[in-house]
Structure 1
Amino acid sequence: MRILVVCGAGASSTFVAQRVRRAASERGLPYAAVAGTTSSLEIDLDSADLVLVGPHLAGQREHIERTAAAHGAAVVVLPDDVFTDLTGERTLDLVVAAVGPAAIVPDTPAER
């Protein structure tokens, strides 16, 4: 599962992506999370299965959803308090809820 965390400039998304990666690793989930910006969205979507959108970009949700759908990626707008989730656990719970348990499979054949 490849997760793209999007914010306006990339700073806050970097923190969220790091926390989600750490939480996923601690749970043994083969999730990769990277940070991106709205201006790099088109390029970053080529390698994303799920897009987590910073709460301050909720007004751009429809545009982001249309763009992501063209690449086969789902979109979740993060809650206003996402930046207080210092462990990434609550954010990872949102990811798991969005993709469902069937998506919790290893990314590479060697891990399967």
Structure 2
Amino acid sequence: MKKLNVLLVCGSGASSGFMASNVRKAATGRNLEISIKARGEAEIENYMDEIDALMIGPHLAYILDEIEDYLQDRPVKVLLMKPEYYSTLNGEAALDDLLTLF
């Protein structure tokens, strides 16, 4: 698998920072090359040309339509994270979910 560039988004960016860190640790433990950045939702457009996947906090489901507009024909996979692992910041479960897209 090639190196994946992932953008992880939640509202303000605080919890997404912890989640990104936990996914990074999980990926390192599995010898996977994943670059994961945590940003606020307002910054999504700035990263669309650089990423392979976009992970979105479960409370942001309402922005999925907007994201489809940003994507246009870009081959970016979009994952709405599940509340059960997002709420506990479970990086292993989040990584498992992400990998199902590839």
Shorter-normalised TM-score: what interval? 0.7 to 0.9
Which structure dedicates a bigger proportion of its chain to helix? 1
Bigger radius of gyration: 1
**Seq. identity, %:** 34
Report the equivalent of 1:34. 37
The amino acid across from 1:37 in the alignment is G
Q: Following TM superposition, by how much is the alpha carbon of 1:48 offset from its aligned partner in structure 2, in angstroms? A: 1.0
Count of aligned pairs between the two proteins: 98
The amino acid across from 2:87 in the alignment is F
The amino acid across from 2:23 in the alignment is V
Q: Following TM superposition, by how much is the alpha carbon of 1:55 offset from its aligned partner in structure 2, in angstroms? A: 0.5
Report the equivalent of 1:105. none
Gaps of 5+ in 2: none
Any idea what SS the aligned residue of 1:84 has?
A: coil
TM-score normalized with structure 2 length = 0.87
TM-score normalized with structure 1 length = 0.80
Report the equivalent of 1:84. 88
Report the equivalent of 1:6. 9
**C-alpha RMSD of matched pairs (Å):** 1.4
Cα pair 2:10 2:56 within 8 Å, conserved: yes
Gaps of 5+ in 1: 100-112
Residues 69-89 of structure 1, C-alpha deviation per residue, up to 9 Å, x if partnerless? 444311010011213144x11
Task: List structure 1 segments (4+ residues) > 2 angstroms apart after TM superposition.
Answer: 68-72
